[in-house]
Amino acid sequence: MSLVLKDLFDGFRDPATLQALAHQIEQAAARLSKPLRIMEVCGGHTHTIMRYALPQRLPKNIEFIHGPGCPVCIMPKERIDQAIALAQPANHILVTLGDMLRVPGSTQSLAKARSQGADVRAVYSPLEALSLAQQHPDKQVIFFAIGFETTTPMTAALLAQTEALGVRNLFFHINHVLVPPAVSALLAEQPCHIDALIAPSHVSVITGAKIYQPLLARYGLPMVVSGFEPVDVMQSILQLVEQTLAGEARLAVQYSRAVDWEGNLKAQALIARFFEPRAMFRWRGLGDIALSALQLKAPWQTYDAEIQFASLLSNQPIDDHKLCICGDILRGRAKPQDCKVFAKGCDPERPLGSCMVSSEGACHAYYRYAKVTQIEVEVR
């Protein structure tokens, strides 16, 4: 990292700036008539909030609700089981991003399947799947594609390359999901525990802030698109408090150094070329949400693993572990420490639920950082 960038990010974590923002928020929050419950949609924001002990810096009437913006955490067991099934045939190679390996399915994880002989490979870039398909023309390579709008363009680019090179042994199991329908489903539930939203930043770089305008029009909640650094999040909280005090509901962009209204139009066009909304997708802990995920359009269904290997796959919904309360956590009805098995039967090494698997999951963040205090927090 260059000195210029290092200085920039050090500024976003400066203790004096954080303390000043905390003081401003405390003064403003003292005028709130009731607690302000803020959902940070993205798991990256949850990680920042816990790592830098932001709840300890803030007044008690500012509450956080940890939203569904962790693509690993919302993947239902049946989709993990499908990935495991696709990895079983001797001539198959299942390729995915590393976070997915430890997510528990109904009986095991991809990591366990690999230890039992399945050819499961973790990659840093989706394009590695194309190289594997070219190196192993006798194998069927399946890319288990996950992520929100942030990572969807990479899958689209991989498919474009696959088509251009005439590669016929690479297939796609598509699990790309969309932020607005999931947030809308949560806001529509009654009673709703959400008063304001910290909107995702990386998603917004691709989509632009415009995707949240329908949510604003329908639900009338203050929203701020925030960066991931602690100063970003604190500035966003201050903006949400100020909007609430003014009786306003606006869509603000705190992360203006990377996000604008329109987003990355080339990436959006690439997504639109290959993908269309899926009628229904089941979110782990949240249930079925209409038009909340993507699927390949008809001209590219020859690459669709769900179609080409349908005989291997079951679509039977599978419920989470009966003691897991991840769904309630994502809805703001509970905190991780309310779970009976939190840090007991469920921890990052032995996760019972998906919220404990990824570093962006609420339970994982609480397990790792909940004991951090304002004095102990390490700002670096």
List, as one string, the DSSP characters of 34-100: S-EEEEEEEHHHHHHHHHTTHHHHS-TTEEEEEEEE-TTTT--HHHHHHHHHHH-STTEEEEEEGGG
Asked which of 25-29, 40-44, 354-358 is least confident by mean pLDDT, the reply is 354-358
Residues paired with 275 in a beta bridge = 296
User: Does 3 score more than 60 pLDDT?
Assistant: no
Asked which of 49-58, 255-264, 291-300 is least confident by mean pLDDT, the reply is 49-58
Mean pLDDT of 361-380: 63
Tell whether 249 is covered by a domain. Answer: no
pLDDT of residue 225: 98
Residue type, 114: R
The closest of 98, 259, 95, 277 to 177, measured between CA atoms, is 277
Tell whether 83 is covered by a domain. Answer: yes
Asked which of 131-145, 284-298, 361-375 is least confident by mean pLDDT, the reply is 361-375
User: Does 378 score more than 80 pLDDT?
Assistant: no
Q: Give the torsion sign (CA, 286, 290, 292, 294).
A: positive
Residue at token pair 């006798």: 138
Tell whether 336 is covered by a domain. Answer: yes
Mark which of 312, 335, 351 sits at the end of a domain: 312
User: Does 4 score more than 50 pLDDT?
Assistant: no
Tell whether 243 is covered by a domain. Answer: no
pTM assigned to the model: 0.91
Do residues 170 and 84 both lie within one domain?
yes
User: Does 207 score more than 60 pLDDT?
Assistant: yes
Condensed to tens digits (0 to 9), the pLDDT of residues 228-273 reads 999 999 999 999 999 999 999 999 999 999 999 999 999 999 999 9
Do β-strands 170-176 and 196-199 pair in parallel, antiparallel, or remain unpaired?
Answer: unpaired
CATH number at residue 88: 3.40.50.11740
Residue at token pair 């770089």: 205
Tell whether 297 is covered by a domain. Answer: yes
- Report how many domains make up the chain: 2
pLDDT of residue 320: 82
Q: How confident is the model at residue 374 (pLDDT cuts 50, 70, 90)?
A: very low
Mean pLDDT of 198-217: 97
pLDDT of residue 10: 59
Tell whether 358 is covered by a domain. Answer: yes
Do residues 285 and 365 both lie within one domain?
no
Rounded Cα gap, residues 18 and 242, in angstroms: 17
pLDDT of residue 64: 94
pLDDT of residue 375: 34
User: Does 137 score more than 50 pLDDT?
Assistant: yes
Q: The domain containing residue 330 runs over which residues?
A: 326-369
Tell whether 346 is covered by a domain. Answer: yes
Tell whether 279 is covered by a domain. Answer: yes
Do residues 365 and 286 both lie within one domain?
no
Do residues 269 and 360 both lie within one domain?
no
Do residues 283 and 337 both lie within one domain?
no
Q: pLDDT averaged over the chain?
A: 91
pLDDT of residue 11: 67
Long-range CB contacts for residues 208-213, cutoff 8 Å, separation at least 24: 208/259, 208/260, 208/261, 208/262, 208/263, 208/264, 209/251, 209/253, 209/259, 209/260, 209/261, 209/263, 210/261, 210/262, 210/263, 211/149, 211/179, 211/180, 211/263, 212/180, 212/251, 213/251
Do residues 308 and 338 both lie within one domain?
no
Q: How confident is the model at residue 371 (pLDDT cuts 50, 70, 90)?
A: low
Do residues 337 and 288 both lie within one domain?
no
Rounded Cα gap, residues 336 and 318, in angstroms: 22
User: Does 2 score more than 70 pLDDT?
Assistant: no
Do residues 161 and 105 both lie within one domain?
yes
Percent of the chain with pLDDT over 70: 94
Asked which of 46-50, 155-159, 246-250 is least confident by mean pLDDT, the reply is 46-50
Do residues 172 and 81 both lie within one domain?
yes
Mean pLDDT of 112-126: 95
pLDDT of residue 37: 96
Do residues 125 and 155 both lie within one domain?
yes
